[in-house]
Amino acid sequence: MPFDYHDCIKANLLRKIPPSTQKAFQSLKKAKFWLTESKKSLEGSATSSSIIASYMCMFHAAGSILFFEGYREKSHACIARYLEEKYVKNHVLDKKWVELLDHSRETRHNDQYNLSFFSTGDDADNALESAKSFLNEMESLLKKISK
């Protein structure tokens, strides 16, 4: 069932918290940690671990924006809905970044829970490159909104 930002707020899946620059930067630090984990996993041919780590990089990179603005997610999908509402609709962020986050979340979910899904080296390579690009985009967005 499709849902949007307002559904996330109503369901308490996005919760207001005090804005925190400190938590935003801690979240970026965690994103960079997961990016390194993804690279290490891929070097060791652990493709599933690499895909999961790439997604976690993206999750924490996007989460930095929410912490900065005073929100906490209780649903991974609601992070994308927040970015969509606050930045895509206002033409500050290209929709492709939200689509990439959603795609990565779905791939991670399949890799973890779908018994017939097996990732390949190409999948992991693509996930790692996506995570790098996404992290850079979220860092740029954070700089833009913190001015």
d(CA 105, CA 107): 5
The pLDDT value given to residue 140: 98
Does residue 2 surpass a pLDDT of 80? no
pTM here is 0.95
Work out the angle between the directed axes of helices 76-83 and 95-113 (0-180°, nearest 10): 170
* Domain locations in the chain as residue ranges: 5-145
**pLDDT tens readout for residues 87-122:** 999 999 999 999 999 999 999 999 999 999 999 999
Estimate to the nearest angstrom the gap between the alpha carbon of 71 and the chain centroid: 15
* In CATH, 5-145 is 1.20.120.330: yes
Compute the CA torsion angle 3, 59, 127, 30 (nearest 10 deg): 180
Q: Is 70 left (phi over 0), alpha (psi -120 to 50) or beta?
A: left
Where are the strands (E) in 1-116, listed by range? 14-16, 71-73
